[in-house]
Amino acid sequence: MAFKRWVSSPPDKDGAAALAEACGLHPFLALMLSLRGVTDAEEAEAFLLGGELSDDPFGFRDMDAAVERIQRAMDSGERIAVFGDYDADGVTATALLYTYLREKGADVIYRIPLREGEGEGYGLRPHTVDVLAAAGARLIVTVDNGVSAVEAVEHARTLGVDVVVTDHHQPQETLPRAVAVVDPHRTDCESTFKDYAGVGVAFKLVCALEGDDDAMLARFADLVALGTLADVMPLVGENRLLVREGLRVLNRGERIGLRALAQVAGVADKTLTSGVTLFSLAPRINAAGRMGEPQLAEQLLLSEDADEAACLAGEIQTLNARRQEVEGRILEEVIARLERESDLLNDRVLVVEGHDWHAGVVGIIAARLLERYGKPCLVLNVGGDTAHGSGRSLAGFSLFEALCAVGDMLESYGGHELAAGVTLAADRVAEFRRRINAYAAEHCPVMPTPELRLDFKLRPNQVDAEKLQLIAALEPFGSGNPSPVFQLADMKLENITPVGNGRHLRLAFSRDGVMVSAMKFQTTGADFPVPCGARLHLAVTLERNEFRGVVSPSLIIKDIHFAETDQEEFIRETARVAALRRGEAVAGAADCLPERAHTTALYRLLHAAGKWTGSVEQLWYAAGRGMRLSQLLVALESLREAALVQVNDAGDTLTVTVLPAEGKTDLTKTPIIEFLHTLV
């Protein structure tokens, strides 16, 4: 994975001590709360216990109009159509509102659009209005979409069909002329909480219709929790209560469809925490939409028959397996291309296109590339004359602003800082790549570095089972309230043990006479060329492990650095060499020129291994750190350009293979060395 800058805020020890005394809290828990912005007893109680639903549904702009129109439709027997979206947020929101209206005796139907197809795609469209009107609907209620459906709502008006919009996306300058537009992000909305998922807004609508928030929470909390987690909404404020209560309901297994889904996901016997729910149930609900069959997920959530639910869950499990296979195949293809075309990989913004890639997974691929390379990524599927794609970015580089800057060449685009979608002519992809990278060079010459936020440092003797209970008090974890990550500093590596048929490592460390072990998953011994005796900084999470009735903390390594590494120097030096590879001038170019002895030592190290795999930092350590990092990277690049080695770059992990060499090679004639000499 890409090198991450470790960041942390200095803990307010005095404030935490005061909070611990005021609330009778353990100092460790009080310190974690203070790092999450909790400063007084009232906030601590709300954070830890959830408080009450305090956001008045009628505080939403247009909620009164929405309730009046829906109630009138129920009273008069008008057909109501609930129109949702194909992702987990949209599917859960549809199930929630449809179930409520059906149980109230309304004449109600629902529709989930397909991701692709004529008249399909995200959001309410004129074609969809025609379909619903033909099915007899006189009122359409959107969930998780609609705030931008100006044209579709106008079309509905011409047909005599009313529309009530409920959404949580940012409104554009012009709102649709619907009967009601309920969206907490309206500038004139007076709701006290803004970070609802689409299903959260739908929940507020049924609370307003019913007039009993607690009854609706008991009935629908599981759907709200699933949609909120899947849409990665911040688990702060009212969302904490909604998700906490929803997890309780989920664990009671009351909804037949979700119980069946947990069974095929292999988590039926596990406690459904926010993490388990997010990584087991949510991807399977999303897989149905990604693979073109969102109706299966909707039917599963609405199912009241155990046999039917088991059958639907099995079909969704098959779709998820197909999604994983398609995703894996495309990801391998993309990585192979990036490793072949070093110029492409050197770009500030990665733009990768392919023919007939599955549109449902390109967003996931972009997210995988962002994690792997630490750069903004756009993955485009070319079909016919058009390229459609999705992008992902990291804080500090707004993908949406970048697309706005090149918007004149795009057919359509939308999104926000960290994620966006785009459509353009297929024959303009190369120009798009050039222009978005030119924008990045001008507006963000030093691209942002991925970050890993740490809570605070722990000593090895502070790792005990009591910490597990204190950490669990902060649940549910997710966006806005991540699971705590701690630093164990200056740990001596004592032993390396392969486990899981060699796919993972158990590492033993010592410090101050205390021994601890930690797991490093998805890492083989060959991928971890670190000698015993090395001093390392560890970023770890503490997870619960139970064996024969004894509960103990397991340390899971999230990231690892050598104790000697100055991370700011590492980031700076890496960025300088990336600029050199792009043919850009850098200050202090002379410092980047490796001496002959440096290159010789590096080649001998690689030649002795034959094939070397590990991080850039580990290669620097293995080379003895007798040269600057920039000199090491330039030396490696010159060896690659001279065809003495093959370098497969997977972000911060390199696989360097020594190639057969004939005769002597003059490395001073390689492009990067010659370019450096022009700068010195």
DSSP string over 461-508 = GG-SHHHHHHHHTTPSPBTTBPPP-EEEEEEEEEEEEEETTTTEEEEE
Backbone angles phi, psi at 395, to 5 degrees: -55, 130
Amino acid 113: pLDDT:
93
Residue 652 confidence (pLDDT)? 64
Q: Which residues of 122-158 are buried (b: 16+ CB within 10 A; e: fewer)?
A: bbbbbbbbbbbbeeebbbbbbbbbbbbbbebbebbbe
Question: Is the separation of the CB atoms in 106 and 214 below 8 Å?
Answer: no
| pLDDT tens-digit series, residues 489-514 | 999 999 999 999 999 999 999 999 99
Q: Is the backbone peptide bond immediately before 660 cis, with ω within 30 degrees of 0? A: no
pLDDT at 49: 83
252: left (phi over 0), alpha (psi -120 to 50) or beta: alpha
Q: Do the strands 377-383 and 412-415 form a parallel or antiparallel pair, or are they unpaired?
A: unpaired
Distance of alpha carbon 172 from alpha carbon 55, whole angstroms = 24
pTM comes to 0.90
* Tens digits of residue pLDDT in 304-333: 999 999 999 999 999 999 999 999 999 999
- Quote the pLDDT of residue 1: 61
Instruction: Give one word for 151, left, alpha or beta, with left for phi > 0 and alpha for psi -120 to 50.
Output: alpha
d(CA 662, CA 318): 52
Nearest-angstrom CA–CA distance, 601 and 606: 9
| Residue spans of the chain under pLDDT 50 | none
Which H or E element spans position 512? none
Residue-level pLDDT at 415: 77
Distance CA 224, CA 246 (A): 7
Q: Which two tokens stand for residue 363?
A: 């967003």
Q: What pairing do the DSSP bridges indicate for beta strands 137-143 and 162-166?
A: parallel
Q: Report which DSSP code applies to 62.
A: T
Rounded-to-integer distance, Cα 274 and Cα 477, Å: 6
Three-class SS string for 608-662? Answer: HHCEEEEEHHHHHHHCCCCCCHHHHHHHHHHHHHCCCEEEEEECCEEEEEECCCC
Question: Which amino acid appears at position 676 of this protein?
Answer: L
- Residue listed under structure tokens 């590879």: 581
Beta bridge partners of 423: 388, 412
Phi-psi region of 144 (alpha: psi -120 to 50; beta: other; left: phi over 0): left
Contact of 55 with 49, CB cutoff 8 Å: no
Q: What are phi and psi of 419, to 5 degrees?
A: -150, 145
Instruction: Retrieve residue 589's tokens.
Output: 């170019």
